[in-house]
Chain A
Amino acid sequence: MPKVKITVVENGFDKEIEVEVPEGSASWTPPSESAVLGKRIVRLDAPEKVSGRAKYTYDINLPGLLHGYILQSPLAHARIKSIDISRAEKMPGVKAIIPLDKKEVFYHGDELVGIAATSMNAAEEAGRAIKIEYEPLPHVAYIDQALAKGAPQVFSDRPNANPKPETRREGDPAAAFKGAKATVTATYETPVICHVCLEPHGLVAQWNGDDELTVWASTQGVHSVRGDLATALNIPASKINVITHHMGGGFGSKFGAGVEGVMAARLAKKAGAPVKMMMTRRHEFHSSGNRPSSLQRIKAAADADGKLVAWEIDGYGSGGINGGAGYPSPYVYRVPNQSRTMRDVFTNGGGARAMRAPGHPQGSFATEVMVDELAYQLGIDPVEFRIKNDPNELRHRQYRLGAEAIGWANRNPKPGASNGAKKRGMGLGACTWGGGGGPSTPVTVNIHPDGSVEAISGTQDLGTGTRTVIAAIIAEELGLQPNQISTKIGETRYGPSGGSGGSTTCASVSPAAKMAGVFAKQQLFEKIAPKLGVKPEQLALRDGKIRVTQGGPAGKDAKWDESKTISWKQAAARLGMEEVSARGQWIPGLSSSGVAGVQFIEVEVDTETGRVQPLKVVAVHDCGLVINRMATESQINGGVIAGIGFALLEERVLDRNTARFLNDHFVDYKIPGTYEMPEIEVIFTDQPERGVIGIGEPPVIPLGGALANAVYHACGARIRSLPVTPNKVLAALKGLRQQDTGL
């Protein structure tokens, strides 16, 4: 049998091992021949979810459960002089209070004291009875304030931004600008936006004795939560089981135990009772991360043929206390002469965390609008302009497909050409992402003599459909249907796994599931063949049956002895006492990395009210081999919806003067609803030969730029700052009218 070398994690260390791979198994069944893969598969947990039977962390209730709450700072920056919990401790229902060891708070909402009580109301009331003496310190809310001369420093030991940042240079931008035909200099801005997980961060902690802990966590990484808790609580990881059977969204913000998780465990220990600590919506807005803002001063130029020749960016970014200038610029386009200076800026706001395609939406927005500006200035069709400058061949095909689907050729190329108050326009943007897999997550398949099959893995489903992916792959291998596979995931005791982030889960888990299926089938054949009086290689599984050849090896051209065909159940029964248990590891060749995507949008702009209504989005994406077409479409729909939020509505608003978070609630932090939804058409450019690649992140990237470009095409108003809200559209249109009349 051929062998492949893979790296696995053993006792916390990477170790290279060799695994045997049965002939021909290291490739996926071509979509034309597959019974399950690539089809529209209804999620296995859909009935549980829609009926409300699915238990999320929020739904966990245990006897004697206490409710956890964290008191947060009302000030954006202050020194803590004293904390007095004596009155709060005596209040009814209060079981434990633990102040965090903090001398200074750095943002409105910074965590201060943990409280466990018999009800959430009692915990909140206790919080109000805690006396904290603050020494207020000066603060900054926004990048411009942080960079101003003499600005207050967020951290006393570092400047708000590096005064001497490194400039990266390629080619000779200065010379290229001189020879260029069109040059645009503009400033682009994107706001801080929040993940808005509908299930907030948090966990339920239950101790069994002094050092055994069971935790139900809303997380995209059960193992990282366990690691955090083991370190913070100084207990062995082997004594902690973290459970996440269902979770309500993470988007990159839910990897660790967090301040709230560690506090829940500490409070539970102190109170001697289980504690449920789910963040309040306010706490969630303040402290669970965000996509940092960006301020991008860009000068770019193209030659008469529409080739980009030079790109210069002075870029800033801040989510709050941990910077945020890590975005690409120029994004997907080739520019031979570049100069980039990027600065992380500290402000007194809650800190950034990875958020669905970190950096890409910000980089994409400024790049796509700038490219559009140059294309219009040169009078070159924006689609053609992109094809001239985009080195990716697959995207060239995607531009054509998307343009056809949205009806690009029928548009009047002149901005603002349509009559009446309401004007329609189209725009587009591109995206790229990795989405590759790795050997972090083995999968075990057990076949029981009663014919039932279970797949076990320490991975978790952060809502993307991982449970169904694993079942579908094993079903394909065993000739069964996905709902015949009982998938057990989302517990650390099910084995090692990486976190579900970076769109890597599908490409990591799928090959392991496939190999587990391959090995399980091999074991099954070896165990039952002697009992059937045939050789293992004579057997094949399909449609819930085992077929036997007339003598030769099973395969496409085999001659079958139909009289020997038996059902799956009959075959499993032959196992007797010998259950099948096979473990599969990720191997190379079944997944790859690197995807391309293009999104087009058509909008309608009411030029008298400033309303932008998205009408249609065409999303053209590649993710290699599609495992579950329905779930993949859902991923793209979800990405488009989040993209509409970023483009049109979402923005964290801190008060410029107090640096306090003003819209930390759903009245004023606006996420898209049904009326804001366009028709969404998803087009896949499948590349099954590349194997599995993740698709979670790319579809969220392009709409910011695409929508702003569509608004320009509709009415001639160039919006360089997100979100594209009515006030900005009206102001830009007023500016245009003043230009026209020479005012």
Chain B
Amino acid sequence: MKDFEYLHPHTIGQARQLLASSKNAEPIAGGIDLLGMMKDYIDEPPDRVVNLKSIPGLNRIRQEKDGLHLGPMVLLVDLEEDKNLQQKYTAVSQAAASVGSVQMRNQGTLGGNLCQRPRCWYFRSPVHHCLKKGGTTCFAMAGENKYNCILGGGPSFIVHPSDLAPALMALNAKVTITGPNNKSRTIPLEEFYILPRVDPHKETVLKPGELVTNVIVPPAPAGSRSIYLKFKEKPSMDFALSAAAVNLTLANGVCKDARVVLGGVAPIPWRAKAAEAALKGKTINEAVAQAAAVASTQGAVPMAQNAYKVPLTQTLVKRAVLASAGIPQPAL
């Protein structure tokens, strides 16, 4: 790993300034993704690393009128163990619990999880100068693409690895971004992520020097229930081969509102609107769940080695829908 400067600001303003005044600076939270990237010299390792954990107040969970405010430095273990989240925003605590190992959850943060770089073994390989890193080739296209995306691919075929993002998107979460002059804007989390066809070199709308400073989860409507199901090839610790976050609002067994968001199958957390449409206004049963499951992968274009992600994703959506409606499902 190359040497770097390690700085500890006390305010968001200082942090932004430290980031903006260096040509090659990166913020660090838990450091789980960043340090791995730096050790492997992926995508130009930074000369300056700015520690966001030294800024007080960013690691709180607060109940406000417009919903639950989650600071970007809240630890994943705290999301996992928070009783309120477990009951009202189940998908979020389930997603946090599904990340990596105990050690990673003790160290990893919400902001870091949302902003982590994509998974693709070509992107993560120090010897492949791929399209995402400024090269001309997406090696996955004609290469080993078992773990790559089936939805939203092109020209790069990465998958977005965040577990928290699909869960929070299913709950209609918003994200606050702070930029120059400490000006903030709050946008739906759904609009935070961008597809490679918009910009193959980045995964979010964040501009250099901008930081995620808050995540807001609106109050859960009466009758709503959310579930996050993540399928790992290696259950002990792994990224998702596929994941489904489902949030249903039911009244007398009829689905008033539905959000279905997929993880691990697209370059961004993937909102499956066709699946949502297949659920709205319906009484949830096996047939309806199956129809939504099939709809969830509408538009999928599997690559040579990842067609299995289609039936796998459909299973996850079906089970998550039924479980959200209180119908017990086999454990993954």
Contacts and interface: CB of A to CB of B under 8 A. Distances in A.
A460 to B, nearest CB: 31
Contacts of A663: 121
Contact of B233 (A121, A422, A649): A649
Contact of A726 (B142, B144, B237, B241): B241
Interface stretch (A437-445, A564-572, A608-616, A680-688): A608-616
A194 to B, nearest CB: 16
Given A420-B330, A675-B235, 7 more contacts: A606-B330, A606-B332, A609-B315, A657-B143, A662-B125, A674-B236, A730-B311
A673 interface: yes
Contacts of B22: none
Interface in A656-706: 656-658, 660, 662-663, 665, 667-668, 670, 672-676
Interface in B63-107: none
Contacts of B121: 653, 662-663, 668
Interface of B: 1-3, 41, 121-122, 124-128, 139, 142-144, 146-147, 231, 233-239, 241, 305-308, 311-312, 315-316, 319, 330, 332
A727 B308 contact: yes
A695 to B, nearest CB: 27
Contacts of A233: none
Interface hub of B233, B239, B330 (most chain A Cβ within 10 A): B233
B315 A608 contact: yes
Given A609-B312, A655-B139, A655-B143, A124 B231 contact: no
Nearest to B101: A673
A613 B330 CA distance: 13
A670 B308 contact: no
A422 B127 contact: no
A725 interface: yes
Nearest to B319: A608
Interface in A694-732: 725-727, 730-731
B308 A731 contact: yes
Given A606-B332, A655-B143, A657-B142, A673 B311 contact: no
B308 A660 contact: no
Contacts of B231: 609, 611, 726
Nearest to B329: A421
Given A121-B2, A727-B308, A730-B311, A676 B236 contact: yes
Interface hub of A108, A667, A734 (most chain B Cβ within 10 A): A667
A606 to B, nearest CB: 7
Interface string A97-132: 000000000001000000000000100110010000
B241 A676 contact: no
Contacts of B236: 672-676
Contacts of B3: 121, 125
B144 A656 contact: yes
A658 B235 CA distance: 30
Nearest to B125: A662
A140 to B, nearest CB: 15
A730 B330 contact: no
B26 to A, nearest CB: 17
Given A610-B308, A610-B312, A667-B239, A673 B234 contact: yes
A449 interface: no
A727 B233 CA distance: 9
A121 B238 CA distance: 28
A667 B234 CA distance: 10
A328 interface: no
Interface string A596-618: 00000000001011110100000
Contacts of A124: 1-2
B157 to A, nearest CB: 14
A672 B234 CA distance: 8
A74 interface: yes
Contact of B312 (A656, A670, A726): A726
5 contacts: A121-B1, A609-B231, A670-B238, A726-B233, A731-B307
A730 B239 contact: no
Given A121-B1, A662-B122, A726-B312, A609 B139 contact: no
A658 B139 contact: yes
B332 A611 contact: yes
A662 B233 CA distance: 17
A667 B332 CA distance: 20
Contacts of A657: 139, 142-143
B141 to A, nearest CB: 10
A728 to B, nearest CB: 8
A660 B143 CA distance: 11
A676 B234 contact: yes
Interface of A: 74, 108, 121, 124-125, 128, 420-422, 606, 608-611, 613, 649, 653, 655-658, 660, 662-663, 665, 667-668, 670, 672-676, 725-727, 730-731, 734
Nearest to A280: B39
Contacts of A611: 231, 235, 332
A734 B126 CA distance: 37
B318 to A, nearest CB: 8
B127 A726 contact: no
Contacts of A610: 308, 312
Nearest to B127: A74
Nearest to A649: B234
B237 A655 contact: no
B1 to A, nearest CB: 5
A676 B235 contact: yes
A670 B330 contact: no
Contacts of A672: 234, 236
A734 B312 CA distance: 12
A731 B306 CA distance: 10
Contacts of A658: 128, 139, 143
A655 B144 CA distance: 6
Nearest to A648: B234
Given A660-B128, A675-B235, A726 B139 contact: no
Contacts of A665: 124
Contacts of B128: 655, 658, 660
Nearest to A657: B143
Contact of A660 (B127, B142, B233, B234): B127
Nearest to B41: A128
Contacts of B1: 121, 124
Given A662-B121, A673-B234, A676-B236, A734 B330 contact: no
A345 B297 CA distance: 41
Contacts of B143: 655-658
A743 B142 CA distance: 28
Nearest to B308: A727
A645 to B, nearest CB: 10
Given A660-B127, A727-B146, A734 B234 contact: no
The 4 residue pairs across chains A and B that have the minimum distance between CB atoms? A673-B236, A727-B308, A675-B235, A608-B315
A710 B277 CA distance: 41
A349 to B, nearest CB: 14
B329 to A, nearest CB: 9
Contacts of A726: 231, 233, 241, 308, 312
Contacts of A725: 233
Nearest to A728: B308
B233 to A, nearest CB: 6
A734 B311 contact: yes
A660 B125 contact: yes
B228 to A, nearest CB: 15
A656 B121 CA distance: 13
A653 B144 contact: yes
A670 B234 contact: yes
A64 B184 CA distance: 52
A662 B146 CA distance: 12
A675 B312 CA distance: 20
Contact of B237 (A606, A609, A656, A673): A673
A720 B319 CA distance: 29
A421 B315 CA distance: 10
B319 to A, nearest CB: 8
A731 B146 CA distance: 13
